[in-house]
Structure 1
């Protein structure tokens, strides 16, 4: 029987990673509040040290390893942000690290991982292809730290929920970008224990929304990975998913999809109205708000998960380039 991840695990993770990650700001958004006639705030997790929330889970997982595991080194598969967080946390702990990625990952995210001293291996055209190389390295003795379906990763990601609860009074709704579900599982677990009335809504892109499609199917299934402006939300949830499928099913109130056009508009809105540079995956909550897809939100916090966008792509979007063209080149 799989042991549940609990509030105790979340508190332990918060204590473990204290001083190694940033407490990120929560800011009010007058522009979004006026547009949707609700009180909207943004949790700026893109200001985390490595540019995304992923550092929380990676740091907790690295610090939870045994001395023998640290000596053996770690390996992970990533669409970018997990790899960067894992590379940074491993380097700080003196742990060897290899990150396996598909050809669909943008070059800026590959460069960011390498800048922290990790080895990067590019394998195939999907997360599943990259995972095959991870499995080979694990057979050779490395310790795999996956991007989402892992107790210590989920507990680490859940620590952002404590900050939100401390920063946002009378919270009603939280919007969380969803890929494999590690972040939303941790956030929902904390929110539903502390204040069950808080709605936790997951947001994904229409192109390759793995968790959404798996929940509709009632089980983990293969979902084709497609080019998208929200590239960090790409990849499947794993056919042998242990934690996140069930946690999302049991704890998350709704899953909503946004289009590429809506993502592009959210990136532009963040830049011009919020003075924030954010990647497509981090913008999906704003996209859902702008598109009128969040009803009766009350006091709403949209979690902005990352800033690691290719700046050439960002400029093209801000300048109004065709969205489909931008999406299809965002991983070159």
Structure 2
């Protein structure tokens, strides 16, 4: 098992400082009232590219040699990793090819193109896109930087956990969006190294939750992908997963599944009560709290608002669909 430790994460922070934003952790009076414990929001959607992915992508790019950067990098993405990687390679004079499936929303695809990446739309799943990545690596010698199952990616995302504990030293529960596990594994490694009794809980959608299915099976498994408001949480974890599956199995205390209506309520609450625009994946922590899905909740609670890159037409429909979320 390739476990990322506290030193790896601290080294990543030293590497990426100046390239990313150290985002605020702010109190949410409304969620604190709802839950009866202090709740803090880690505003990771404030990153330059609109999601936490910039941390891991930047760390991975800065770890490459000049020769590797000259070859160019390639990755599969559900959108946010591709956007972050495209931004990061521009800063070092490299280039990126991003492979995405037809399920990736057009607003995310167009932003990756705007940043100068070569975009390939392949198949109906991230697994299909990954096959194209592997072909390009074999044929063109590109350097593969996957969206989660990579030590430098996990270490970069883990810097969020450092910042959470520094801002909330007595944190008892951390809620983290869960897809391929790069964010959850990195945050859990940092938090539990500094505050061993804290619980770290992964949150994902009900349908097509690959990490949850894999954890239940005891090994990485394939899942069918479905459209979801939490589109960033879609995709498989890779049958040869070497980093994030073992880390999530060892470090996560629970995984909570959320329905599409619960995710929508999280997006609405974020907008109406917190004055924040979030994509579905970024709102799953809020969704879990207002739906009372976290059993035995102990405060203080920190939850990661992981991204804001939602199609605004979709956002308007969701916000206007059923009125205000619960107060």
Report the TM-score, using the length of structure 2 for normalisation: 0.96
| Secondary structure class of the residue paired with 1:201 | strand
Are 2:231 and 2:281, in contact at CA under 8 Å, matched by a contact in 1?
yes
Residue 272 of structure 2 corresponds to residue 272 of structure 1: yes
Alignment map for 1:190-269 (pairs within 5 Å): 190-269=190-269
- Deviation string 1:120-173 (CA, Å, 9 cap, x unpaired) is 110111111111110111012000000000010001110111111111131110
CA–CA separation in structure 1 for the residues paired with 2:92 and 2:251: 33
Is there any run of 5+ residues in structure 1 with no aligned partner, and where? 323-332
How far is the alpha carbon of 1:184 from its aligned partner? Answer: 0.6
Paired residue for 1:304?
A: 305
CA–CA separation in structure 2 for the residues paired with 1:74 and 1:17: 18
How far is the alpha carbon of 1:296 from its aligned partner? Answer: 2.3
CA–CA separation in structure 2 for the residues paired with 1:108 and 1:85: 14
Paired residue for 1:98?
A: 97
CA–CA separation in structure 2 for the residues paired with 1:130 and 1:142: 15
CA–CA separation in structure 2 for the residues paired with 1:141 and 1:206: 37
Residue 141 of structure 2 corresponds to residue 134 of structure 1: no
Paired residue for 2:186?
A: 186
Alignment map for 1:1-332 (pairs within 5 Å): 2-139=1-138, 140-294=140-294, 295-320=296-321
CA–CA separation in structure 1 for the residues paired with 2:320 and 2:53: 29
Structure 1 runs, 4 residues or longer, greater than 4 Å off: none
Are 2:3 and 2:247, in contact at CA under 8 Å, matched by a contact in 1?
no
How far is the alpha carbon of 1:297 from its aligned partner? Answer: 2.4
How far is the alpha carbon of 1:298 from its aligned partner? Answer: 1.2
| Secondary structure class of the residue paired with 2:170 | coil
- Deviation string 1:254-296 (CA, Å, 9 cap, x unpaired) is 1000100000001000000000000000000111101101132
CA–CA separation in structure 1 for the residues paired with 2:111 and 2:290: 31
CA–CA separation in structure 2 for the residues paired with 1:4 and 1:232: 24
How far is the alpha carbon of 1:111 from its aligned partner? Answer: 1.1
CA–CA separation in structure 2 for the residues paired with 1:297 and 1:280: 24
**Alignment coverage as a number of residue pairs:** 321
How far is the alpha carbon of 1:233 from its aligned partner? Answer: 0.1
Paired residue for 1:330?
A: none
| Secondary structure class of the residue paired with 2:86 | helix
CA–CA separation in structure 1 for the residues paired with 2:274 and 2:111: 25
CA–CA separation in structure 1 for the residues paired with 2:2 and 2:216: 25
Paired residue for 1:325?
A: none
How far is the alpha carbon of 1:321 from its aligned partner? Answer: 6.8
CA RMSD of aligned residues (A): 1.1
| Secondary structure class of the residue paired with 1:100 | strand
How far is the alpha carbon of 1:320 from its aligned partner? Answer: 0.3
Are 2:211 and 2:237, in contact at CA under 8 Å, matched by a contact in 1?
yes
Are 2:2 and 2:243, in contact at CA under 8 Å, matched by a contact in 1?
no
- Deviation string 1:177-220 (CA, Å, 9 cap, x unpaired) is 00000011011111111111010000000011111111001110
| Secondary structure class of the residue paired with 2:321 | coil
CA–CA separation in structure 2 for the residues paired with 1:321 and 1:235: 29
